[in-house]
């Protein structure tokens, strides 16, 4: 009983921390409440699962801190009917959060090891609306578009036109735009009825540069 109470208090503190960090979107908050981060971290990091810090995962990668994921999901403004493309599955934690918000999620990952591990987690957790693809996501997935929302777990230094072209009218792309040494969380929204793009910035956020190509070994 005491352990369960402590766990509930820790989860409440975690959610309140996300709220105080600016996450006010009800659907996103509900997703963080339903999806347990502990299912997506190694057992050696289970005691850190409710801390707002990045954690190591396989293939030399890391799982982004929950507060940073929350900022990205808030900027994405996804809703229940959306088809979502995710670039960078990683552990599958953000994919699982997205699965609670959107209609369907297609997630691309360059490391086969991470793909297989995420598929195993989703099967165990009964998550059925996420399709994980082992592929290079650096230019999106035009053959399965258009998408209502695209989220990139990485920084972009070049053009984003290939991603914008895969959005529905009114659709949005969220990622980190890096110009020189400045990295900002950015949303590109494709205007309804035209090819023009509205750009919004949401403050500093630094993520690793979006990688190209498939891993040759892992």
Q: Where are the domains of the chain?
A: 2-204
At 12-37, the pLDDT tens digits run 999 999 999 999 999 999 999 999 99
Average pLDDT of the residues in 91-102: 97
pLDDT by residue (tens digit) across 122-133? 999 999 999 999
pTM of the shown model:
0.94
Whole-angstrom distance, CA of residue 65 vs CA of residue 132:
21
Position 173 scores a pLDDT of: 98
Distance between CA 108 and CA 13 in Å, rounded?
A: 32
Contact assessment for residue 70 and residue 18, using Cβ atoms and an 8 Å cutoff:
yes
- The architecture (CATH level 2) of 2-204 comes to 3-Layer(aba) Sandwich (3.40)
Residue 5 has pLDDT above 60, yes or no: no
């Amino acid at each position: 009983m005491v352990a369960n109470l402590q766990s509930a208090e820790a989860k409440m503190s975690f959610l309140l921390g996300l709220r105080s960090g600016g996450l006010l979107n009800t659907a996103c908050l509900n997703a963080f409440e339903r999806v347990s981060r502990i299912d997506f971290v190694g057992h050696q990091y289970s005691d850190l699962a409710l801390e707002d810090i990045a954690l190591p995962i396989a293939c030399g990668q890391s799982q982004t801190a929950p507060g940073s994921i929350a900022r990205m999901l808030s900027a994405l403004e996804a809703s229940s009917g959306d088809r979502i493309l995710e670039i960078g599955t990683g552990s599958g934690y953000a994919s699982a959060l997205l699965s609670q918000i959107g209609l369907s999620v297609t997630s691309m990952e360059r490391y086969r090891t991470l793909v297989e591990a995420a598929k195993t987690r989703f099967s165990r957790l009964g998550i059925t609306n996420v399709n994980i693809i082992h592929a290079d996501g650096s230019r999106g997935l035009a053959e399965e578009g258009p998408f209502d929302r695209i989220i990139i777990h990485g920084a972009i230094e070049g053009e984003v036109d290939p991603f914008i072209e895969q959005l529905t009218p009114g659709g949005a792309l969220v990622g980190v735009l890096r110009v020189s040494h400045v990295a900002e969380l950015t949303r590109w929204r494709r205007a309804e009825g035209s090819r023009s793009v509205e750009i919004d910035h949401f403050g500093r956020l630094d993520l690793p540069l979006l990688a190209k190509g498939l891993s040759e070994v892992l």
